[in-house]
Amino acid sequence: MMKILQKTATLLSFLLFFFFIADSAVAEGLKELKPTKTSQHRSVFTLPVYLVLPEGYSFVKTESGCVDKTKRVSFEASVIRLPYSDLQKEFNEENLKKASMGLKMKNEFIWNGSSAMLMKIFQKTASKMVGKWTLIVDRGEECWLINGIYPAQDQKRGEDVLAAIKSAYWENSENQSSMGIPLGSVDVHGTPLKLAALLEGTVVYTKDGILPTRKEDGSLFVVSSLSGTLVAVDKQHEYAKERFQMVEKGEKIKIISDKEVTIDGLSGFEIIGYAAGEQKKLIYQMMLFDSMNSHVMVGIARSGIQELENISLFHDTAGTFKRAR
């Protein structure tokens, strides 16, 4: 699918102090941290951020970072096209609670010359509790989001993840350009959709905030942008249909609805169909075009389970799309 968030001795002692404080929400003062790059630092992400990965793990590369599937520990990184000041407001206890997450700690620093906040978050799933150490770094008009994920009940793995996050190092002279991130957003407030993943170029929502979702209908909704994709007006419809057929690779999708739409002043096409693989799936796509970019919203769900509700959910959510301004 067009495809959820991934130092010095002084820094170690300082942050371990906060690790054992439960439910702390605000830092007492803004501290300046200056990590040093060592021979143990590794390039883990597509972002120019380096980590010292914990010993005793067998990490394999993923699209957004790395994972040890056996120990259920992973690191992910992505870019968010929002200024740091906006994320400071968004990442609060109330908003995270709406996404079935608990904020256990939040502290802010000047980290390697950039404003940053470090959060300890717990997320309850159907069968277990997942722990996250989340670092958000100010990069001007955008931010870096780095997540370390582990089984919440395993304190040792949590400590290992925290140590790796604390080792985060980047060169301030590195290219800070946008990395194919969405150039717009949708409003999911009041809907069953919850943020599940922030990957490079993609924002993924599911009904339980987990990827892959554990909901019976298997539904997910994806927002992405194809930067620098200039499509002639007379070719846009055909291009949208071609992209629609690529949603489920290797499966032919039967189109049942194909309409021209206008959202946020942009023209485009809303296409709905079914992919008949091992299990029949509902496929929804809305593609909008501006002078230099294509904006794509895709919804997928199992057919026959809350089918009409999901079509309405995908349609209504796509209809809230707003370009980043």
Q: What is the pLDDT of residues 249-283, one digit of tens each?
A: 778 899 999 999 999 999 999 999 999 877 889 99
Query: β-strands 42-43, 49-51: how paired?
Result: antiparallel
Provide the Cα torsion 237, 193, 201, 67; round to 10°.
-140
Omega before 182 within 30 of 0, i.e. cis: no
Confidence of residue 74 (pLDDT cuts 50, 70, 90): very high
Q: Distance between CA 135 and CA 106 in Å, rounded?
A: 10
* Mean pLDDT, residues 136-156: 90
Which pTM value belongs to this model?
0.49
Nearest to 260 by CA among 252, 269, 251: 269
In DSSP notation, 85-115 reads: HHHHHHSSHHHHHHTTEEEEEEEEEEETTEE
Share of the chain above pLDDT 70, in %: 84
User: Which are the contacts of 17, defined by CB distance < 8 A and separation ≥ 6?
Assistant: none
Query: β-strands 184-185, 322-323: how paired?
Result: antiparallel
Task: Tell me the one-letter amino acid at 270.
Answer: E
Contact 247, 222 (CB under 8 A): no
CATH superfamily of 9-170: Mog1/PsbP, alpha/beta/alpha sandwich (3.40.1000.10)
Contact 51, 168 (CB under 8 A): yes
Beta bridge partners of 261: 268
Q: What is the pLDDT of residues 81-125, one digit of tens each?
A: 788 888 888 888 888 888 778 889 888 888 887 889 999 999 887
Q: What is the pLDDT of residues 1-25, one digit of tens each?
A: 433 333 323 322 323 222 332 233 3
Domains 9-170 and 184-323 share a fold: yes
Nearest to 282 by CA among 225, 238, 244: 244
DSSP percent split of the chain into helix, strand, coil, nearest 5: 20, 40, 40
User: Which are the contacts of 241, defined by CB distance < 8 A and separation ≥ 6?
Assistant: 255, 258, 269, 271
Contact 133, 151 (CB under 8 A): no
247: left (phi over 0), alpha (psi -120 to 50) or beta: alpha
User: How is residue 238 written in tokens?
Assistant: 């055909």
Query: β-strands 101-111, 31-33: how paired?
Result: parallel
pLDDT at 250: 72
Average pLDDT, the chain: 82
Residue 202 has pLDDT above 50, yes or no: yes
- Taking the mean position of all CA atoms in its chain, how far away is CA 105? 20
pLDDT at 114: 85
Q: In CATH, which of 3.30.43.10, 3.90.180.10, 3.40.1000.10, 2.60.40.1220 is domain 184-323?
A: 3.40.1000.10
Question: Structural domain boundaries of the chain?
Answer: 9-170, 184-323
Q: Which helix (H) or strand (E) holds 79?
A: strand 73-80
Neighbours of 156 (CB within 10 A): 11
Distances (CA, A) of 161 to 44, 62, 193, 278: 14, 17, 28, 38
Nearest to 191 by CA among 219, 230, 157, 172: 219
